[in-house]
Chain A
């Protein structure tokens, strides 16, 4: 699986958009980008995933660059409950049969 690089920490004001970047310059054509987050004292939680098109769901939007070497997770209106560690994961395939490889993630602090 391709290695990802994320900033170790970021701050965001409550109500503003949080934009979390991820670099995956060695991504292969059959690898997807996944985002999970871990809120303190809970297990990781799936957010969104994509291959090459931008994706949006009720939690977030995922913007993938045309060359697929980087992506951005956008939380459009961050709340205090979005404070968590966010993990960008790249792996082959779209089915659930493969393990997740977690890196260090980005610790997002949403401030009032």
Chain B
């Protein structure tokens, strides 16, 4: 079974440019999460999808960040325009339907974003 995949693995852009990160969750997982670790800080939650709906977007830092999950499959996270402080590693995670016993979150390898 394929795990959570993220693309690209690395992205280097200049301040003011736009970048789109993609996450493909494990097939059949309804829950999809985005997290990020910016330089020297802890891993922080950004948002949570249940299928195509945003369940919780309380961690999104500002309106330069836009996440979508059309059709409830893969998700994209767009940063427009990117700022220096957006540099860090962006993780995606997925889990099965949230009912019954604990369904662990499976994380992807992350996308390392560098804004120059």
Q: A99-B33, A99-B45, A103-B42 are in contact. Are A43 and B101 (CB under 8 A)?
A: no
Majority secondary structure, A binding face: loop
Q: A43-B93, A44-B43, A104-B42 are in contact. Are A97 and B109 (CB under 8 A)?
A: no
A68 within 8 A of B: no
A41 within 8 A of B: yes
Say how far B21's CB is from chain A's closest CB, in angstroms.
Answer: 13
Complex partner residue of B98 from A95, A100, A101, CB under 8 angstroms: A95
Q: How many A-B residue pairs have CB under 8 A?
A: 60
Taking a contact as CB atoms under 8 Å apart, the answer to whether B43 and A46 are in contact is no
A72 to B96, alpha carbons, bound, how many Å?
27
- Interface size of B by CB at 8 A reads 30
- A: interface residue count bin: 10 to 19
Q: Mark B17-34, 1 if CB is under 8 A from A, else 0.
A: 000000000000001010
Complex partner residue of B48 from A45, A49, A99, CB under 8 angstroms: A99
Taking a contact as CB atoms under 8 Å apart, the answer to whether A46 and B45 are in contact is no
A42 within 8 A of B: yes
- Chain B residues whose CB sits within 8 angstroms of the CB of A96 once the complex forms: 31, 95-96, 98, 102-105
- Chain B residues whose CB sits within 8 angstroms of the CB of A103 once the complex forms: 42
A96 to B4, alpha carbons, bound, how many Å?
16
Taking a contact as CB atoms under 8 Å apart, the answer to whether A95 and B4 are in contact is no
Q: Mark A68-87, 1 if CB is under 8 A from B, else 0.
A: 00000000000000000000
A43 to B98, alpha carbons, bound, how many Å?
21
Q: Which residues of A contact B (CB under 8 A)?
A: 32, 38, 41-46, 49, 94-97, 99-104
